[in-house]
Amino acid sequence: MSELGEVEEDPVALAVDRQRVAGTLLRPEVPVPGFLFVHGWGGDQEDDLGDAEELARLGCVCFTFDLRGHAESDADKERVTRQDGLDDVIAAYDYLAAQPGIDPTAIGVIGTSYGGYLAMLLTRERPVRWLAMRVPALYPDADWDVPKAKLDKAAVRAYREHPPAPEQDRALSACADFPGDVLVVASERDDRIPPAAIAAIQAAFRRANSFSHRVIQGATHAMREERHQRAYRRLLVGWIEDMVRASRLTV
């Protein structure tokens, strides 16, 4: 993969359940693989634009967007459910996949925390070749239709400390059936996603074509320090370069 020059950024508004979801499509001169970015709960697409720009310059079409209840997208954050989030991600995937020049067999998803959780669920709904997740979250299947903001935080924490077998968890079950390539990046000082949750996710990918696990030393869950963000970007971009290059060799 080599740099292809300037990147075009186009604002996008998707309609999901009669509400507006704001996004940004980043398009290089020559579209090739597509990558969908899914931000974490409480974040927005600004968190992903830097990484998306790097990939777009390498020849990938990238789409970032704001989940409903976040930034420029519609809806009351206090009333948004996980089903709403999954519907948003499916709509965003379909928009990206419909872009001219996109190879439908070469679409990847990059999710952070809650976005990683939604990305795992998306693999059951749409074809995903590459799945990259930073500090991916787990949630109990119970109370699926309860607004995300109103979930019992203590119950969620306990669930992550003692996650069930893949067959008993919707997201882990999706991981168990995923045949593509996977990257999981954890933070050494994560106070939200315990090692047990990361280990459960790792163990669930039984059919994955490849699995890579990295830990960013000293990083917190939010990873606000610039040095940690740079380390993550190097990991992500390097992994995607390797994955896309390998896919081209098999064509």
Q: For residue range 206-251, what is the model confidence (pLDDT) as tens digits?
A: 999 999 999 999 999 999 999 999 999 999 999 999 999 888 776 5
pLDDT of residue 2: 45
Q: What three-state secondary structure class fits 120? A: helix
Top pLDDT among 104 and 5 is at 104
CA atoms within 13 A on the CB side of 215: 11
| Cβ contacts of 127 within 8 Å, gap of 6 or more | 104, 105, 107
User: What is the DSSP annotation of 180-203?
Assistant: SEEEEEEEEE-SSS-HHHHHHHHH
Q: What is the pLDDT of residue 3?
A: 42
- Write the CA distances from 114 to 37, 98, 171, 235, integer angstroms: 12, 25, 11, 20
Instruction: Evaluate whether 120 touches 173 at the Cβ level (below 8 Å).
Output: no
pTM of the model: 0.89
pLDDT class for 30, splitting at 50, 70, 90?
A: low
Contact call for residues 38 and 2 (beta carbons, < 8 A): no
Tokens matching residue 111: 């999710």
What whole-number distance in Å separates Cα of residue 19 and Cα of residue 125? 21
Question: What is the predicted pLDDT for the residue at 28?
Answer: 63
Cβ-contact 184, 121 below 8 angstroms: no
Name the CATH topology of 8-249. Rossmann fold (3.40.50)
Residue 246: what pLDDT? 87
Q: C-alpha 72: how far from its chain's center? A: 19
* Nearest-angstrom CA–CA distance, 192 and 205: 22
Q: Of 177 and 73, which is predicted with more confidence?
A: 177
Confidence class for position 95, pLDDT limits 50, 70, 90:
very high
d(CA 189, CA 93): 31
Q: Which residues contact 90 (CB under 8 A, 6 or more apart)?
A: 122, 125, 126
How many Å apart are CA 107 and CA 132, to the nearest integer? 11
Q: Is residue 164's pLDDT more than 80? A: yes
177/186 Cα distance (integer angstroms): 22
- CA–CA separation, 65 vs 20, rounded Å? 11
Confidence grade of residue 74 (pLDDT, cut at 50, 70, 90): confident
Residue 27 scores a pLDDT above 80: no
Cα separation of 104 and 201, whole Å? 26
Reported as a single tens digit per residue, the pLDDT across 77-87 is: 999 999 999 99
The letter for the amino acid at 139 is Y
pLDDT for the residue numbered 4: 43
Mean pLDDT of the region 109-122 = 98
Radius of gyration of the chain (CA): 17
The pair of structure tokens assigned to 244 is 């896309």
Mean residue pLDDT of the chain comes to 93
Residue-range domain boundaries for the chain: 8-249
Cβ atoms 188, 214 nearer than 8 A: no
